[in-house]
Structure 1
């Protein structure tokens, strides 16, 4: 396949895109120790004979470790870029900074306050304040003396690079943030005369904004790729909380009371503040999930959200170690009570399963 054919293939929307596995592999690497990411990027499987990967910028993370991003460039051959991928990490509770963990939780859960985008957009377009907080963090990252924007503008604007395709990708919170990072980059780059194609590719992403934002995003990015596992609860937030409550009912796995209470609280709060959310209406690639079974509701949710599960559904090769399936356990009264009521320890443990190389 020629370099031009590879570029054209990168613009195929939805499930026909041949590079979705590569994008998800990049997302998997975003959860690894930052110092190891450049080496791991260089070791990724190539897309053509003679191809290669290189970490061009970053990884960079905020001082509190709440947000991390890096840029990976793919080359058809030496000096022949095909695309450059901005990779945004999702929530990671395994960081060493407690304030950073709280910041990530804020970005995930601050959904009752919707605000306009900080650039020109159609009337009525609103996103969660927590999402914009995450965007501001990404905008402020620096590596090698350059911001993310400065690096991307210099790279895609360099004539010798022959207009590589710009990809913006992430998993979970990283997917949500990708949907605001992509239009920010598009508008800012256009002001500099750079109008090359941009492909947002998201995996397991919760919603970023209201119906008007979802439509604005779809209209802006005809090459958008959105992948979601039908048994993953994260993509149901925040547009389908009822779906979170009932997703495992057909398999006899009841939603814990703790989760039910939290969902009811969020539903009531969004009604009170009159906010609503929606996923983009186009280019949605549904991945039919397979129920794992043998564990608690929390464990099932963690497995369904894991990047390794998404990789299996895509038919690709994971570049991280997949989590073990939960072992079957006796369903005695105490185990049932723990599964129903949950605990702070369980929530933390499952969050770690979801987010360490997974969410």
Structure 2
């Protein structure tokens, strides 16, 4: 039976800002038991099941979350690949065996315990790969002559519209997650991969919308995974809209790729950015030009150091100004070697504060304690980066956006 949305504007709302907190909750769940991959498979299903139901007057009165596939974080050759993780969730009506209102592909962001491969993906923005080559398999993971290539279970030709270039690190991350399997399928002769599993689910529930979401590196992945899945699902007899919500994302492609991306998604894509978060400044223009100013324009509350930190330190007014100039020069020098990247449409640029004041020492120390960091380092640039970038701050910012539905903040289960 073809998909029937619960109300007339539901799919438009999923693609807009209304369900921003719901999408952020799913992106947060992707961090379940990070740093310890053997705990993830056993704990993610329970973490998903414990997510609160969505309260919205036009939705069914009861609903529940389900982990439909994954988490996939293993190579089929038998190894754990904790650098990336991907899973498929659904939100369904009723209390069990219900019809899905939407599917969601969640992409994990940077795992502090991940390996060198993920660090490479984060930083490898200095070279570009043609998007068409990634889709066709002409480009292999890491540029290897016999490495992984992108899974193409739908056996589709590359569309002529697939123009532009993406960061090599983003291309590698996409190829990696398209080839990951569940822990139970290591060495399987017939493993299930992301696109194939999603195609199977949509054959059972034709027309169901598919959300792709992630935070940080997961927000970068969201862009290429959403474009990849839109291609893979294009041959279905009943169309399933693909919707992309990226939180705190670096950019992944040049202007031509962004034109292609915008043409696919239009208003069904959101790019959620804290305007004082350093990570989304990478690697787009003019965002990169502004990165050198963060966070020197901010002050600590009265009674503490006068100025916010820079990469080089804080100090008195004169020293702080010197540090800020040094930081600006460093960013300008790095920018010389970075190709031109662009942001897609629908950037939700959210201001952290209108008072130009950073959080108090107590607020910073509470935040760092909750994140498992050292609260003694509350006034360092690294701690300010964490505060600006991590999901608790984004929860408050998204919640403040006009028209966003209320949804409780979700905290990913930590390593046991």
Counterpart-to-counterpart distance in 2, 1:176 and 1:132: 10
Q: Report the more deviating stretch, 227-236 or 239-248.
A: 239-248
Counterpart-to-counterpart distance in 1, 2:68 and 2:120: 30
Residue 167 of structure 2 corresponds to residue 128 of structure 1: yes
Match of 2:321 in 1: none
Residue 68 of structure 2 corresponds to residue 56 of structure 1: yes
Residue 401 of structure 2 corresponds to residue 317 of structure 1: no
Match of 1:116 in 2: 130
What's the offset of the Cα at 1:122? 4.0
Mark the CA change 1:155 to 1:123 in structure 2 (over 3 Å): closer, same or farther.
Answer: closer
Match of 1:103 in 2: 117
Mark the CA change 1:267 to 1:20 in structure 2 (over 3 Å): closer, same or farther.
Answer: same
Higher Rg of the two aligned structures? 2
Match of 2:216 in 1: 172
**Contact 1:106–1:130 (CA<8 Å) still a contact in 2?**
yes
**Contact 1:38–1:55 (CA<8 Å) still a contact in 2?**
yes
Q: How many residues align?
A: 310
Residue 215 of structure 2 corresponds to residue 203 of structure 1: no
Superposition map of 1:223-302 within 5 A: 223-239=268-284, 240-251=287-298, 252-257=307-312, 260=327, 263-270=331-338, 275-280=339-344, 282-290=345-353, 291-292=358-359, 294=361, 295-302=379-386
Match of 1:45 in 2: 52
SS of the equivalent of 1:87 reads strand
Counterpart-to-counterpart distance in 2, 1:49 and 1:123: 41
> Deviations along 1:201-224, whole A, 9 cap, x unmatched?
110000001111112111110211
Match of 1:138 in 2: 177
**Contact 2:125–2:169 (CA<8 Å) still a contact in 1?**
yes
Match of 1:345 in 2: none
Q: Structure 1 stretches of 5 or more lacking a match?
A: 323-355
**Contact 1:114–1:129 (CA<8 Å) still a contact in 2?**
yes
Residue 110 of structure 2 corresponds to residue 91 of structure 1: yes
Match of 1:181 in 2: 225
Q: Structure 2 stretches of 5 or more lacking a match?
A: 34-39, 55-59, 75-79, 136-158, 186-190, 299-306, 314-325, 362-378, 400-406
Residue 195 of structure 2 corresponds to residue 149 of structure 1: yes
**Contact 1:175–1:206 (CA<8 Å) still a contact in 2?**
yes
TM-score for both structures, normalised by structure 1? 0.79
TM-score for both structures, normalised by structure 2? 0.69
SS of the equivalent of 1:107 reads helix
Counterpart-to-counterpart distance in 2, 1:254 and 1:212: 36
SS of the equivalent of 1:11 reads helix
Counterpart-to-counterpart distance in 1, 2:26 and 2:343: 23
Counterpart-to-counterpart distance in 2, 1:298 and 1:7: 45
**Contact 1:126–1:212 (CA<8 Å) still a contact in 2?**
yes
**Contact 2:163–2:260 (CA<8 Å) still a contact in 1?**
no
Q: Which structure has more helix as a fraction of its residues?
A: 1
**Contact 1:292–1:300 (CA<8 Å) still a contact in 2?**
no
Residue 12 of structure 2 corresponds to residue 11 of structure 1: yes
Counterpart-to-counterpart distance in 2, 1:75 and 1:81: 4
What's the offset of the Cα at 1:193? 3.7
Mark the CA change 1:153 to 1:162 in structure 2 (over 3 Å): closer, same or farther.
Answer: closer
RMSD: 2.5
